[in-house]
Structure 1
Amino acid sequence: MSLTFGGVAALLDVDLHVAEGEIRAVIGPNGAGKSSLLNIVSGLYRPDQGEVWFGDRSFREVPTSKLATHGVARTFQNLALFKGLSVFDNVLMGLAHRVRAGLLRQIVGSPLARRIEAENRAAAEEVISFLHLSEVQDRMVGTLPYGLQKRVELARALVVRPKLLLLDEPFAGVTVTEKQELSQHVRNARDSFGATIVLIEHDIGVVMELSDRVAVLDYGRKIADGTPDQVRADPAVIDAYLGVAHEDDTELAI
């Protein structure tokens, strides 16, 4: 797919295939087009050329209002949490699309509305426990350390049990210990919840250790795609990150 802004190319003929059940990383220097790619997949941008496929369905413009019903969830580089609400209520917000009972029936407490509410609360409690957030579930999100807020946003995305989970720089701004913990939670999300994961991340060490396959963008083009070992040793990737000449046996230092 391709995408331009005012004549400036953000993406040029980029294709990205994600296999079911894998952790797929997209890396590249600042301005490489990583966020633009994720924004297309999540419906925030419409590509000038190309389509997005979810299974056997293709979209010229992804319907953002129906992402959850298509099995897609996303976290953001800048936390999109409600700081004045509790952890539990923030996670519960991820299930707003399930409320189909109608306002009137909710007001009068219809059996359908009560059943949906009970199911949503049970789902929120399950993912909160899964991510070891039970001890803080009643605290306002704004009072939590940044690393825990990152985990809350992951919980809100996971509560819908997505088939495809998009993570936009999930490790940015957290400590080394928090990165290790969050990496394990991402693995567990794939292994226990069956989510296919696409992540954008600047920490190359985390990417190489966590991902099954890695795609590398530079100036809007895909310059490499393969396993972490293949990408690490690719001369084009070394040049993109280091901006220096390379020898044939040079590897990307991480």
Structure 2
Amino acid sequence: MTDILILTHIDYCPPGYLAQVLDEARRDFRVLRVDLGELANIDLDRPRAVAIMGGPMSVNDELPWLATEIAALQHFIRRDIPMIGHCLGAQLLARALGAEVRRMPYTESGWQPMRRAAEASSSPWLAHLPAEFPIFQWHGDSFALPPGARPLLSSPWCENQGFAWGDRTLAVQGHPEMTEELVRLWLKDWAHLLDARQPSQQSVAQMLDQLPARVAALNQVAQGFYRHWLSLAFP
């Protein structure tokens, strides 16, 4: 097994741009499908860094593998290894750290503005970012802040968009890992779940507008997250 573990939960929520960053850094990594039981028999003391990707399920769903994954994350937390959670992955980290995850009264989707929290002024996770920047969103649940967490980001539709716990864990409600291909795939297969009449959701046309430029800017956001995460694991 490699030193970098990426936990996924469905085929259409892969590592995306994270895999590209790791390939460019010449870092081997292993991708597991936790929902298919692939976390079983993994040596949890081996990984030096862990990323947790998204998925359509809720942390509150009665799925046995969710409890297995949360227990694994708690083991990684005790080991104090660098972790980064994306959307569902962020919610799983919040739950592993003792916080509540709740259903929101609406879905937040599309390119939404992130605002830096006042408490985040000195956070190394955000050192590469301005006070406001967009991230691609698609979620209907939201996490509370775990005890001891530092709030990092908020949006007009979701107060808790990101937090740091200690120096080595980042949880981001959005999807910094998106590529052009992933955005187009999601909008091809799942546009029927959207309702552009809701102010918290963009239309498909809005999400696709200037997509190459939007994704290029998002890649810069993600690259800063991922490079800091890697620097903690491989100083």
TM-score above 0.5, yes or no: no
| TM bin (shorter chain) | 0.3 to 0.5
Structure holding more strand per residue: 2
When normalised by structure 1's length, the TM-score is 0.31
RCO (CA 8 Å, sep 6+): is it higher in 1 or 2?
1
When normalised by structure 2's length, the TM-score is 0.32
Structure with greater Cα Rg: 1
